Every structure is written in structure tokens, then in C-alpha cells.
């Protein structure tokens, strides 16, 4: 059953997402890029407000693929008490591998749940998936770096997504990137662990506008019905 991840920008939005039925409340700043980071104080306050009623996650920002910078950002975010830390992988293969190796001991030493975010519109390196699994990453997801209105499916077809999900077996998997209702109905059939959304639940479908609780609730109902349809098909 695919769960619903909703990205929020504040304590207020975190509570709206909670009331709307989000399974994972994800803190990020959409005005600062694909994975813009919120101030650590805001993340901490949101984690406290959610109070363990849902899983929380937060992004470390659109950072250069420097092992030192990435590790520093991970440990700063871990101090907020957030459940899951998301790292964007924007570099070439060599840079990305260096960062994976650098984060690996932090995961083991501090028992961190870390998600690698690969960018569907930047030639995502599926060859990293076995290495991420070996390094102890909790999960891996696909998103889009350029928020130009084109969805995940404009960059990767369903066959490519199926390959990604198959290669990521053993980790939690997420699919995101300007997804709309129609996209989601098709994607749920592929059974990712969760589906990530921001713009589709904001006023005017604008990812930098205010989150709308009614849109979260509507998407939550849609996802519930899609999951039920998938379960019924499996039993048929």
C-alpha cells in the first residue's frame, strides 16, 4: 500500500497536512529549489507539533556534492529530531559515490534513517541503488530538480520507473515530481512505498503557495481508493 508524503513549509502547514491525512510530513522550502532546506528551528518546532502522530522527514537542501557539506547538513538535521533525512544527489557518479561512502558511517553510528533523492530530469544513476542499499540508506526516491511544471512522467516512462522500483528492492521507495491526480492513479499501480506531493495540494496548484487541507484530504481519499483497487486486482 502506497503512503502519502506531503511537503510543508511551516508548523502551521505541518498541522494542516496531519489533519488532512498525510502519512509522512516532509519539511522543505520550495522557494529554495527542489529540496530547499527549512531553518533548523522550524523543523524542530514542526517535529514537536506533530508529536509523533506521523512520520516526519526533512530535506538537507540543494547542496553541492561535497562529502563534508553533506555530512554536516545530515548531522544538523538529525539534531532536530526529525525521523527521516533526505539528501539530494545532484552530482556526477564519482561525487555521488563519495557522498554515499561518507554518509554510511553516520547512518550506522547514529542509527539514522536517510533517503537518497535522485533527480529524474538529471539522468538519474540507477547504478547507485545497490550501493545505497549496502550503505544502509532507509530509502530512495525519484523527484525532479527543475520545477517547470513537467511531471516525473515527462522524464521517465513507466518502464523506467518499474526498473527503478525493482532495483531499489530492500529499501523504501518514493516517487515525486509535479504529480497530479491522473499521474497518481497510474503510479499507485506500481506500488511505491510512498508518493510525494507539494504543488497538487497547494492553492492554485502553485508549489510556493499555501498548502490547502481540503486538497490533502481529497488526495488522501484518492490514494486510499487507488490502493484498494490495487489490492482487489491482486486478489482477483
Quick one: pLDDT at residue 148? 85
Cell of 96: 555521488
- Residues whose CB falls within 8 Å of the CB of residue 81, separated by 6 or more in sequence, listed in order: 44, 47, 48
**According to the model, what pLDDT value does residue 116 have?**
98
pLDDT digits (tens, 9 = 90+) for 160-179: 999 999 999 999 999 999 89
Q: What is the pLDDT of residue 155?
A: 95
φ and ψ of 113, to 5 deg: -100, 110
Active site residue 28: yes
Nearest to 13 by CA among 211, 200, 205: 211
Q: Give the model's pLDDT for residue 180.
A: 83
189 is catalytic: no
pLDDT-based confidence at 100, cuts 50/70/90?
very high
The phi-psi region of residue 210 (left if phi > 0; otherwise alpha if psi is between -120 and 50; otherwise beta) is beta
What would the pLDDT profile of 138-154 be if each residue is shown by its tens digit? 999 999 999 888 999 99
Query: What pLDDT digit, counting tens, does each position of 117-137 carry?
Result: 999 999 999 999 999 999 999
Question: H helices within 34-66, ranges in order?
Answer: 40-50
Q: Looking at residue 227, which CATH number applies to its domain?
A: 3.20.20.70
pLDDT of residue 95: 97
**Residue 184, pLDDT score:** 86
How many domains does one find in the chain? 1
Domain holding 78, by residue range, is: 3-235
The single residue of 28, 213, 215, 228 carrying the catalytic annotation is 28
pTM of the complete model: 0.96
Catalytic site residue from 86, 189, 191, 210: 86
Amino acid at each position: 500500500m502506497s503512503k502519502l508524503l506531503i511537503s510543508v513549509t511551516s508548523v502551521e502547514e505541518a498541522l494542516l497536512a496531519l489533519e488532512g491525512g498525510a502519512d509522512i510530513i516532509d519539511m522543505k522550502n520550495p522557494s529554495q529549489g527542489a529540496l530547499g532546506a527549512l531553518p533548523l528551528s522550524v523543523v524542530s518546532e514542526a517535529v514537536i507539533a506533530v508529536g509523533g502522530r506521523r512520520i516526519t522527514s526533512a530535506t538537507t537542501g540543494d547542496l553541492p556534492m561535497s562529502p563534508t557539506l553533506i555530512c554536516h547538513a545530515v548531522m544538523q538535521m538529525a539534531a532536530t529530531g526529525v525521523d527521516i533525512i533526505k539528501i539530494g544527489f545532484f552530482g556526477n557518479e564519482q561525487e555521488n559515490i563519495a557522498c554515499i561512502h561518507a554518509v554510511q558511517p553516520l547512518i550506522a553510528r547514529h542509527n539514522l534513517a536517510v533517503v537518497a533523492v535522485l533527480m529524474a530530469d538529471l539522468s538519474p544513476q540507477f547504478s547507485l541503488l545497490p550501493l545505497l542499499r549496502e550503505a544502509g540508506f532507509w530509502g530512495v526516491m525519484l523527484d525532479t530538480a527543475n520545477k517547470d511544471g513537467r511531471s516525473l512522467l515527462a522524464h521517465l516512462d513507466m518502464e523506467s520507473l518499474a526498473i527503478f522500483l525493482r532495483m531499489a528492492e530492500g529499501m523504501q521507495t518514493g516517487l515525486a515530481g509535479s504529480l497530479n491526480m491522473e499521474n497518481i492513479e497510474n503510479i499507485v499501480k506500481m506500488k511505491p512505498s510512498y508518493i510525494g506531493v507539494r504543488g497538487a495540494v497547494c492553492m492554485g496548484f502553485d508549489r510556493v503557495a499555501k498548502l490547502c487541507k481540503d486538497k490533502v484530504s481529497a488526495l488522501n481519499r484518492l490514494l486510499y481508493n487507488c490502493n484498494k483497487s490495487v489490492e482487489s486486482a491482486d486478489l482477483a
